[in-house]
């Protein structure tokens, strides 16, 4: 009998996990401990010297977290993963492995507002600079390349506007420039899109959102695609040069196609410290087991709501790639054929005041700053998540004054629509 590769649903339940060898527990236990006992001094030395894999201290790694890392890496088709405290922590550690003061990141203008803020302001404290590119003009990524460019960063489905980015086209530009393509796949999840299949080298997630799916835990994950030559031209010294803290080990030479994940762990997480709680890892793992079921319901509901809104008298426009007339519909068919996700925006004819009024009148929807919950969520980005941006930046990010963002849950679609209907009448 020939062995077969497990399907997506099987991986979502089983990847990385085995019954606990001591107790036989079927669910992955919560290893709620700070530290782990060494077998002897030689064992300790081998762990600290990266000559053996194992557990030292939960800031660096933990068995519960390891299951989460392996599971998401398997779902994304990557070689290894690293679980950290949040999606923003994942971004910091990923870029920390690549950047030195004065280096540049080419980033899509269509990003989550918090990421725009992180790139524009917080990263400047490290001497890292950003060059903005427009995903509607793919050539703008190529025009942004300079000798200081160290990475290109995009979202597969952009938050909040639901913009589908042509990953394959951007990947070709990254390859030509000799830099990795980093893709935030939070809104799509690997159920809808696997960026590595289209040329991404690193995939990031805010696991807080659809992967965890229940609005109860914050976490982030870095997935190493195993596709990039980190030793090329010596551009990435943390991976290609001897590390003095590890007896001269060259990470790319030693760890090959999962060297990036190792670098983020032993040179980033170890020293910067944004560790994920094992309890959160346990909750996130539980959420992932139903990922495909939830995501399909999210997508089906979102399409129904978008269709209803598109014919409403008070709605000026709807931006949802699943709609046949949407400008990103063709890209959606290529990159997310099972559905265009659950997050999208629409514009109210009454502008800013109408948006504030709508979020004040909903009853089923929760007005809060999150997405990816089982519950339907609503927010007016211009007055909340994107408030720190200038008016021009808000518009560029798809968060103009008339914009309302929805994250459609898995309730009955009729109830979701009824709530929006009564709120718009109010």
Q: What is the CATH number of the domain that holds 410?
A: 3.90.1150.10
Whole-angstrom Cα distance, residue 386 to residue 395? 10
Q: Tokens 């977290």 appear where? A: 65
Instruction: Single out the residue in 249, 272, 287 at which a domain terminates.
Output: 287
Whole-angstrom Cα distance, residue 240 to residue 232? 8
Query: What integer pLDDT is reported at residue 390 of this predicted model?
Result: 81
User: Among residues of the chain, what percentage have pLDDT more than 70?
Assistant: 99
The answer to the question of residue 3 being in a domain is: no
Query: What integer pLDDT is reported at residue 1 of this predicted model?
Result: 40
Q: State the average pLDDT over residues 373-398.
A: 82
Domain at 88, CATH number: 3.40.640.10
Whole-angstrom Cα distance, residue 384 to residue 363? 19
Q: State the average pLDDT over residues 214-234.
A: 96
Query: What integer pLDDT is reported at residue 2 of this predicted model?
Result: 55
**Is residue 312 within 8 Å of 423, Cβ to Cβ?**
no
Query: What integer pLDDT is reported at residue 426 of this predicted model?
Result: 78
The answer to the question of residue 2 being in a domain is: no
Q: Per-residue pLDDT tens for 251-297?
A: 999 999 999 999 999 999 999 999 999 999 999 999 999 999 999 99
Print the domain residue range for 404.
Answer: 291-425
- Looking at the structure, do residues 104 and 138 belong to the same domain, yes or no? yes
Query: What integer pLDDT is reported at residue 196 of this predicted model?
Result: 98
Phi-psi region of 365 (alpha: psi -120 to 50; beta: other; left: phi over 0): beta
- Looking at the structure, do residues 319 and 389 belong to the same domain, yes or no? yes
**What is the SS3 assignment for 295?**
helix
Whole-angstrom Cα distance, residue 171 to residue 180? 8
Whole-angstrom Cα distance, residue 386 to residue 19? 45
Q: State the average pLDDT over residues 322-339.
A: 97
Residue 386 has pLDDT above 80, yes or no: no
Query: What integer pLDDT is reported at residue 389 of this predicted model?
Result: 74
- Looking at the structure, do residues 262 and 295 belong to the same domain, yes or no? no
pLDDT band at 245 (very low <50, low <70, confident <90, very high): very high
- Looking at the structure, do residues 259 and 301 belong to the same domain, yes or no? no
Whole-angstrom Cα distance, residue 161 to residue 356? 18
Instruction: Single out the residue in 287, 304, 326 at which a domain terminates.
Output: 287
Query: What integer pLDDT is reported at residue 401 of this predicted model?
Result: 87
Domains of the chain: total: 2
Q: State the average pLDDT over residues 66-72.
A: 98
- Looking at the structure, do residues 332 and 198 belong to the same domain, yes or no? no
Q: Per-residue pLDDT tens for 149-175?
A: 999 999 999 987 789 999 999 999 999
- Looking at the structure, do residues 164 and 233 belong to the same domain, yes or no? yes
Q: State the average pLDDT over residues 172-182.
A: 98
The answer to the question of residue 13 being in a domain is: yes
- Looking at the structure, do residues 333 and 369 belong to the same domain, yes or no? yes
**Is residue 195 within 8 Å of 75, Cβ to Cβ?**
no
Query: What integer pLDDT is reported at residue 143 of this predicted model?
Result: 98
How do strand 181-184 and strand 129-133 relate by DSSP bridges? unpaired
Residue 61 has pLDDT above 80, yes or no: yes
The answer to the question of residue 313 being in a domain is: yes
Q: State the average pLDDT over residues 33-51.
A: 96
- Looking at the structure, do residues 303 and 366 belong to the same domain, yes or no? yes
**Is residue 315 within 8 Å of 348, Cβ to Cβ?**
yes
Query: What integer pLDDT is reported at residue 3 of this predicted model?
Result: 77
pLDDT band at 190 (very low <50, low <70, confident <90, very high): very high
The answer to the question of residue 127 being in a domain is: yes
The answer to the question of residue 1 being in a domain is: no
Q: 400: number of CA atoms within 13 Å, CB side?
A: 14
Instruction: Single out the residue in 229, 253, 287 at which a domain terminates.
Output: 287
Whole-angstrom Cα distance, residue 304 to residue 162? 15
Average pLDDT, the chain: 95
- Looking at the structure, do residues 266 and 408 belong to the same domain, yes or no? no
The answer to the question of residue 219 being in a domain is: yes
- Looking at the structure, do residues 295 and 214 belong to the same domain, yes or no? no
- Looking at the structure, do residues 408 and 368 belong to the same domain, yes or no? yes
- Looking at the structure, do residues 155 and 16 belong to the same domain, yes or no? yes
Whole-angstrom Cα distance, residue 199 to residue 75? 16
Q: Tokens 């914009």 appear where? A: 403
Q: How many CB atoms lie within 10 A of CB 71?
A: 27
């Amino acid at each position: 009998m020939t062995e077969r590769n497990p399907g997506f649903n099987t991986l979502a339940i089983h990847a990385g996990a085995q019954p606990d060898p001591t107790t036989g527990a079927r669910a992955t236990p919560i290893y709620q401990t700070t530290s782990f006992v060494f077998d002897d001094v030689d064992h300790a030395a081998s762990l600290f010297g990266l000559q053996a894999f194992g557990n030292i201290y939960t800031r660096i790694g933990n068995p519960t977290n390891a299951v989460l890392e392996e599971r998401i890496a398997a779902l994304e088709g990557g070689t290894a993963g690293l679980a950290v405290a949040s999606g923003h922590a994942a971004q910091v550690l990923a870029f920390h492995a690549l950047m030195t003061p004065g280096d540049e990141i080419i980033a899509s203008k269509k990003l989550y507002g918090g990421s725009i803020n992180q790139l524009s302001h917080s990263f400047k404290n490290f001497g890292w600079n950003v060059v903005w590119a427009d995903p509607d003009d793919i050539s703008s990524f190529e025009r942004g390349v300079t000798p200081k460019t160290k990475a290109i960063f995009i979202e597969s489905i952009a938050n909040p506007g639901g913009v589908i980015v042509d990953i394959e086209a951007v990947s070709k530009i990254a390859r030509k420039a000799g830099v990795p393509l980093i893709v935030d796949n939070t809104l799509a999840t690997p159920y809808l899109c696997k960026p590595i299949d289209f040329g991404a080298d690193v995939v990031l997630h805010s696991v807080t959102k659809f992967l965890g799916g229940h609005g109860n835990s914050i976490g982030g994950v870095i997935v190493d695609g195993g596709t990039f030559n980190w030793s090329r031209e010596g551009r990435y010294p943390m991976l290609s040069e001897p590390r003095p803290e590890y007896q001269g080990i060259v990470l790319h030479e030693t760890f090959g196609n999962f060297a990036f994940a190792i670098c983020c762990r032993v040179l980033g997480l170890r020293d910067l410290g944004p560790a994920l709680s094992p309890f959160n890892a346990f909750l996130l793992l539980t959420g992932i087991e139903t990922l495909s079921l939830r995501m399909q319901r999210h997508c089906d509901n979102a399409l129904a709501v978008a269709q209803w809104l598109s014919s409403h008298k008070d709605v000026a426009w709807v931006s949802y790639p699943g709609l046949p007339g949407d400008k990103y519909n063709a890209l959606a068919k290529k990159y997310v054929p099972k559905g265009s996700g659950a997050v999208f925006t629409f514009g109210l004819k009454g502008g800013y005041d109408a948006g504030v009024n709508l979020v004040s009148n909903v009853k089923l929807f929760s007005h809060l700053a999150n997405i990816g919950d089982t519950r339907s969520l609503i927010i007016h980005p211009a007055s909340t998540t994107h408030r720190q941006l200038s008016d021009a930046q808000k518009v560029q990010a798809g968060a103009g004054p008339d914009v309302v963002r929805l994250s459609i849950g898995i309730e009955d679609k009729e109830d979701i629509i009824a709530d929006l209907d009564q709120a718009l009448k109010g």
